[in-house]
Structure 1
Amino acid sequence: MKRFLRYSGYAAVISIFVVFNFIMLNSLRQDKTVEGPIKPKIVLISHVYSNPYWQYVKAGAEMAAKERGAVVEYQGPDSASAEEGIKLINMAYAARASGIIAYVQDEDKYNPIINKVIQGDVPLVTIDSDAEKSKRLAYVGTDNVNAGKVGAKELINQVGIDGHIGIIMGGKNVKNQIERVEGFKEYIKTNSKLSITDIESSDSYLLEAELAAEKIILNNNDIKALFCTSALDGVGAAKAVSKLGLSGKVKIICFDDLPETIEAIKNGIITSVVVQRPYLMGYNAVNIIMDNIQGKETKGTFLTDVFILKKDNLQQYEKDQGGYNSETK
């Protein structure tokens, strides 16, 4: 009897082991089936990782990736750095990413790595800031020289053609910032007698933008307006102008409709905003890369428009826009 019970116990253990292995193998087969084919991975490399403007670019890229059966990996330097940006492109290339979307901080420095990536048969699209002389597949973004002119025209509408003004830019060596200032200066020189007294850099940091605005204002008591060329510059300038009790007296014309910027317009601190289409930039860039992967010839320059947003048209804009996710509809 004892022998029978012992054998029965062995049989039970063996049965449990067999059943357990069968379940595990079946589970592994099911997992393999669920995974399906590997999706193309597109690496999106921003100007500065934490800059909120790039969250809109990322959202657009992720929407397009979802529609096209791809995935987006978002990266960016912790601070504005051409060297770090180039390093991230190299890493994405070495990891054999299916495609790369990259912001260009310094065209001359970026051209060799862009050309290397293209020659290695990895599609690379520049976004928000271009490298025209490189072999990049395409550029998606604003015509930054023209955007500077749009901002200059609006500033003249606000303050007239005489007086002193200042500029805050998100990096004196950053390509799209240089282009915006170039377009701004050209329009101001041709269409007014306004004098640009100071040009300060924030390197796209909020605190640095606030300090730059304070410096310009305190060094020039008769400053009429500040022109701010990157997303956080306007928010920083608004903080400085408000703190100095000059809201409405020193006009602020800036870039990009961040939530804080919209709030400052409503409060009468920021005067006007040059609005870009970052969501659409990300969306279009991913589609261009996916077209290329699927054998479609998609090359060239794909410009997204800009327009002026201010208190007069803010209510209608918010009603029509419904957030950046509506830009592709």
Structure 2
Amino acid sequence: MRFVMIPKAVHPWFDKANNGAQSAAQLLSKATGRTITVEYRAPQTADVSTQNDIIERAIATHPDGLILDLLDEKGNRSTMQEAVDEKIPMTVFDSLPPEGMDITAVGADFCEQGTLAAERLAKLIDHKGEVAIMMGVPTAPNHALRARCELKVFAKYPDIKVVATGIDNDSIETAQKQASAIMQAHPNLGGWVACDAAGPVGIGQAIRESDKVGKVKEVGLDNLSDMLQLIKDGVVDSSASSRPEMQGYWAVIAAWQKAMGQQTPKNIDTGIDIITKATLSK
């Protein structure tokens, strides 16, 4: 059996998810005595048309299932409908399926993840001051949901003002440049949250390069090695992390079950970890 896994872009977070996917394929092959493979096809950048082209090429090979992380719920819908028409099962991970499509979603509770990060930042800045949000890929369902929930948290506190938002399109370099520009434009900025895994790394780099460590607080997302190092170095306070390896693993398990004709749950919640310097020292 052959599955095709298509993430948002080439990115260290998705490398972790792919590691989990390959582990699941190995386990299933061993358990069933049948070769199970996962082909990993990542767009070079977070571009919807490029991702759709990759999905269409995958559909043409008639795999036993597609495992997708959507860049744009609306922009991906028609291509996904092609898979439905070809009776190719789909599973999404780190994302939400288009409304009305009966597709299992594997991932964290994205609203909870954004809420946890925003509440931690609010506490760090004593519930007052200027904050900014790095939005990731605004059309991505999970990034957009985190952003909405972060904004909802900040709206609860009358003395917190969201003064800027950046768009990094899942690029650490873009996030670093945008964060630097925003901090120059808002010298009284007190803190940052983000909506993707690349954003908080770029923000942390910008905080360090701007000599604002300790002056500008950051609560990040996810568990990239650069993110963990920024926490260890005291540049970033903490991270509300999803579990990419687990998402990749369970996405393959769900895709395999669906390919075997089994019913699968609407959602598989892989949980959230709060990572701090203290948890990293254990």
TM range (shorter): over 0.9
Task: Go from structure 1 to structure 2 and tell me whether the alpha carbon gap of 1:307 and 1:152 turns closer, same or farther (over 3 Å shift).
Answer: same
**SS of 1:198's equivalent?**
strand
1:274 match: 240
Shift of 1:242: 0.8
1:56 match: 16
Give the letter for the 2:19 counterpart: A
Task: Say what the alpha-carbon RMSD is for the aligned residues.
Answer: 1.4
Paired residues of 2:74 and 2:98 also in contact (CA < 8 A): no
Establish whether residue 311 from structure 1 lines up as the match of residue 277 from structure 2: yes
Establish whether residue 145 from structure 1 lines up as the match of residue 106 from structure 2: no
1:125 corresponds to which of 87, 91, 108: 91
Give the letter for the 2:124 counterpart: Q
Establish whether residue 46 from structure 1 lines up as the match of residue 7 from structure 2: yes
2:268 match: 302
1:107 corresponds to which of 65, 73, 97: 73
> In structure 2, what is the Cα distance between the partners aligned to 1:312 and 1:191?
28
Shift of 1:241: 0.9
Paired residues of 1:103 and 1:127 also in contact (CA < 8 A): yes
Shift of 1:115: 2.7
| Structure 1 runs not aligned, ≥5 long | 1-39, 317-329
Paired residues of 1:115 and 1:136 also in contact (CA < 8 A): no
Paired residues of 2:67 and 2:90 also in contact (CA < 8 A): yes
* TM score, norm. by length of structure 2: 0.94
Worse overlay, 298-307 or 219-228: 298-307
Shift of 1:180: 0.6
Give the letter for the 1:240 counterpart: A
Shift of 1:174: 2.4
> In structure 2, what is the Cα distance between the partners aligned to 1:239 and 1:250?
12
Shift of 1:294: 2.2
- Greater relative contact order, per chain length (Cα 8 Å cut-off, separation 6+): 2
1:325 match: none
| Structure 2 runs not aligned, ≥5 long | 30-35
1:218 match: 184
> In structure 1, what is the Cα distance between the partners aligned to 2:159 and 2:81?
43
> In structure 2, what is the Cα distance between the partners aligned to 1:178 and 1:137?
19
Larger radius of gyration: 1
Establish whether residue 67 from structure 1 lines up as the match of residue 27 from structure 2: yes
Paired residues of 1:110 and 1:131 also in contact (CA < 8 A): no
1:168 match: 134
**1:197-212 alignment, distance < 5 Å:** 197-212=163-178
Shift of 1:134: 4.1
> In structure 2, what is the Cα distance between the partners aligned to 1:284 and 1:235?
26
Shift of 1:133: 0.9
The C-alpha deviation readout for 1:263-293, integer Å capped at 9, x for no partner, is 1111100111011011111100111111122
> In structure 2, what is the Cα distance between the partners aligned to 1:287 and 1:45?
16
> In structure 2, what is the Cα distance between the partners aligned to 1:115 and 1:208?
32
2:33 match: none
> In structure 1, what is the Cα distance between the partners aligned to 2:246 and 2:137?
24
Shift of 1:250: 0.6
> In structure 2, what is the Cα distance between the partners aligned to 1:295 and 1:235?
41
* TM score, norm. by length of structure 1: 0.81
> In structure 1, what is the Cα distance between the partners aligned to 2:108 and 2:218?
21
Worse overlay, 294-303 or 257-266: 294-303
Shift of 1:308: 1.7
1:231 match: 197
Query: Size of the alignment, in residue pairs?
Result: 276
> In structure 2, what is the Cα distance between the partners aligned to 1:45 and 1:219?
37
Aligned residues with identical type, % of pairs: 23
Paired residues of 2:138 and 2:167 also in contact (CA < 8 A): yes
Task: Go from structure 1 to structure 2 and tell me whether the alpha carbon gap of 1:298 and 1:172 turns closer, same or farther (over 3 Å shift).
Answer: closer
Paired residues of 2:128 and 2:157 also in contact (CA < 8 A): no
Give the letter for the 2:245 counterpart: Y
Paired residues of 1:124 and 1:136 also in contact (CA < 8 A): no
1:258 corresponds to which of 221, 224, 247: 224
> In structure 1, what is the Cα distance between the partners aligned to 2:237 and 2:109?
22
